Amino acid sequence: MSFERSIAAFGRAKNVIAGGVNSPVRAFRAVGLSPVFMKSGSGAILTDVDGRHYVDYVLSWGPLLLGHAHPAVVKAIAAAAARGTSFGTPTEIETELAECIVAAMPSIERIRFVSSGTEATMSAIRLARGYTRRPKIVKFAGCYHGHADAFLISAGSGALTNGVPNSPGVTEGTARDTIVLPFNDAAAVERTFVEHPDAIAAVVVEPYPGNMGLVLPQPDYLKRLRELCAEHRALLIFDEVMSGFRVGPGGAQARTGVVPDLTTLGKVIGGGLPVGAFGGRADVMSYLSPEGPVYQAGTLSGNPLAMAAGLATLRAIRDDATLFERLEVLTRVLTEGLSEIAAKHGIAHTVARAGSMFGIFFTDGPVVDLESAMKSDTAFFAKYYAAMLDRGIYLAPSQFEAGFVSTAHTTRHVEQTLTAADASMAHAAAQRAQAATPVSR
């Protein structure tokens, strides 16, 4: 079966949508393919416009912890829509979802809902600056916090540096207030606090970065960040847009025992609908308008459809005591199987997993930061990706993205995936060997 309708759909989209997609990674450029257009999803399965079926490990980039079109979530959305799609007023369901989150997340005493993860992290750093009355933030290369100007910064030369814009439209002034350091390098953070005394408002970090592939923190790294922020009176912000309710019921902070001052959330808390949130200590959150001087607002913040989908999802998590245990076991079986297959075919690789997040890098490793992640064989990944897609496995179309498992996945889906991976790695390895063989003339 071909991708004929997807290719035609992409051609049509390019006539009216910038780049033909509404988020760059969807264009499939990293794997040299034309994007696949989907028409439906059910459980762990996606169906494209050509009628092909896939076991899905993207899950809308993480939100669908319960899988596609989960009955409880669909029912909640339909009921909410029947009552009205948006009011621009407070609703009780906002409070109900907030109560669920506050009860689960160790750091959150007060919360504010927004409409995206980008909006949540953007608002959190504004709040941090307003609360501390300091200008600078520290972020880490490879950690993605959305596309706000302050985050589209790359490191300059050296490990201790003010950032430079890595997107046109970001000013040098904005970049000067963002310091970019290597992930997993606590010593660099220590030096930075010495270099910029009383200037750093916050350190913002993905505790489990998922946008350079899944990279895990070294033992005690997050704990050291907590200590340094406390020592220098800066706020520690955990970006748990991806890891929140993904790696455990209380996110990475409950899993690691490290409690930040502020936390940003998204994805799972909206059950697949657009949502974001930021929250934390009550004294910090009280600086937000209308209580405090830091302004933040949003027309569709707390949208009743998103609140209903999120509440249905978090209630399903709350009511299933073994949910995360089952997800962890299934993810371990998947990653161990992928590692065994890669080893069998002599393919350099490193795997990582945390809760229901996982990743595989085609490099010897270890992978501890962006620099080591970038050593991956992206050409091999592209061959592997295409072969997996042909065999009905839908992965993120980039070496540098995490994968996800849902409660809808079963051991049968994992077995199907590993069978496909065995054939796909063998195929990709043969292609690589063929390309490396000199042509005699």
Which CATH number fits the domain that encloses residue 183? 3.40.640.10
* Structural domain includes residue 436: no
Residues contacting 402, CB < 8 A, separation 6+: 62, 210, 211, 213, 214, 242, 357, 358, 359, 396
Q: What is the pLDDT of residue 161?
A: 43
Identify whether residues 230 and 363 lie together within a single domain.
no
Q: Which of 73-77, 239-243, 362-366 has the lowest mean pLDDT?
A: 362-366
Q: What is the pLDDT of residue 246?
A: 97
Identify whether residues 148 and 48 lie together within a single domain.
no
Report residue 419 CA to chain centroid gap. 27
Three-point CA angle 158, 164, 168, nearest 5° = 150
Identify whether residues 90 and 190 lie together within a single domain.
yes
Sign of the four-CA dihedral 88, 151, 262, 407: positive
Q: Is 288 helix (H, G, I), strand (E, B) or coil?
A: strand
**pLDDT category of residue 164 using cuts at 50, 70 and 90:** low
pLDDT surpasses 70 at 310: yes
* Structural domain includes residue 227: yes
Catalytic residue check, 136 = no
Nearest to 424 by CA among 364, 374, 372, 360: 360
Residue range 287-305: mean pLDDT, rounded: 97
Identify whether residues 103 and 247 lie together within a single domain.
yes
pLDDT surpasses 50 at 158: no
* Structural domain includes residue 439: no
pLDDT surpasses 60 at 441: no
pLDDT surpasses 60 at 283: yes
Identify whether residues 314 and 329 lie together within a single domain.
no
Q: Which of 267, 369, 394, 422 is catalytic?
A: 267
Q: Which of 82-86, 206-210, 307-311, 434-438 has the lowest mean pLDDT?
A: 434-438
* Structural domain includes residue 441: no
- Which amino acid, residue 27? A
Identify whether residues 49 and 77 lie together within a single domain.
no
Q: Answer whether 339's CB lies under 8 Å from 352's CB.
A: no
Q: Which of 48, 177, 185, 239 is catalytic?
A: 239
* Structural domain includes residue 143: yes
Identify whether residues 350 and 326 lie together within a single domain.
yes
* Structural domain includes residue 376: yes
pLDDT surpasses 70 at 159: no
Q: Is 160 helix (H, G, I), strand (E, B) or coil?
A: coil
Residue range 47-75: mean pLDDT, rounded: 98
pLDDT surpasses 90 at 170: no
Q: What is the pLDDT of residue 157?
A: 36
Residue range 4-23: mean pLDDT, rounded: 97
Query: How many other CB atoms sit within 10 Å of the CB of residue 189?
Result: 24
pLDDT surpasses 60 at 264: yes
Catalytic residue check, 267 = yes
pTM of the predicted protein model? 0.96
Look at the block and give the residue holding tokens 């907590």: 226
End residue of a domain, out of 294, 318, 342? 318
Q: Which of 154-168, 297-311, 367-381 has the lowest mean pLDDT?
A: 154-168
Identify whether residues 166 and 60 lie together within a single domain.
no
pLDDT digits (tens, 9 = 90+) for 214-232: 999 999 999 999 999 999 9
Distance CA 116, CA 265 (A): 9
End residue of a domain, out of 318, 333, 366? 318
> SS3 sequence, 325-389?
HHHHHHHHHHHHHHHHHHHHCCCCCEEEEECCEEEEECCCCCCCCHHHHCCCCHHHHHHHHHHHH
Identify whether residues 85 and 171 lie together within a single domain.
yes
Distance CA 409, CA 412 (A): 8
Q: What is the pLDDT of residue 160?
A: 34
pLDDT surpasses 80 at 162: no
Residue range 330-357: mean pLDDT, rounded: 98
Q: Answer whether 243's CB lies under 8 Å from 208's CB.
A: yes
Q: What is the pLDDT of residue 156?
A: 43
Identify whether residues 387 and 267 lie together within a single domain.
no
Domain count, the chain: 2
End residue of a domain, out of 286, 318, 350? 318
pLDDT digits (tens, 9 = 90+) for 105-142: 999 999 999 999 999 999 999 999 999 999 999 999 99
**pLDDT category of residue 152 using cuts at 50, 70 and 90:** confident
Q: What percent of the chain has pLDDT over 90?
A: 90
pLDDT surpasses 80 at 143: yes
Strand order across the 262-266 sheet: 110-114, 276-280, 262-266, 235-239, 200-205, 136-141, 178-182
**pLDDT category of residue 163 using cuts at 50, 70 and 90:** low
Which CATH number fits the domain that encloses residue 54? 3.90.1150.10
Catalytic residue check, 75 = no
Strand partners, 45: 42, 55
| Per-residue exposure over 94-106, b if at least 16 CB sit within 10 Å of its own CB, e if not | beebbebbeebbe
Q: Which of 131, 144, 208, 384 is catalytic?
A: 144
Identify whether residues 140 and 254 lie together within a single domain.
yes
Q: Which of 99-108, 128-137, 159-168, 306-315 has the lowest mean pLDDT?
A: 159-168
Residues contacting 413, CB < 8 A, separation 6+: 44, 55
Q: What is the pLDDT of residue 335?
A: 98
pLDDT surpasses 50 at 357: yes
pLDDT surpasses 60 at 440: no
* Structural domain includes residue 159: yes
- Which amino acid, residue 133? R
Distance CA 144, CA 141 (A): 8
Identify whether residues 94 and 241 lie together within a single domain.
yes
* Structural domain includes residue 38: yes
Residue range 55-67: mean pLDDT, rounded: 98
pLDDT surpasses 90 at 266: yes
Distance CA 367, CA 352 (A): 9
| Domain of residue 175, residue span | 71-318
pLDDT digits (tens, 9 = 90+) for 248-261: 999 999 999 999 99
Nearest to 151 by CA among 185, 131, 187, 126: 126
To the nearest 10°, the Cα dihedral for 254, 186, 116, 16? -140
Q: Between these two residues, 172 and 303, which has the higher pLDDT value?
A: 303
Average pLDDT over the chain reads 95
Distance CA 323, CA 355 (A): 11
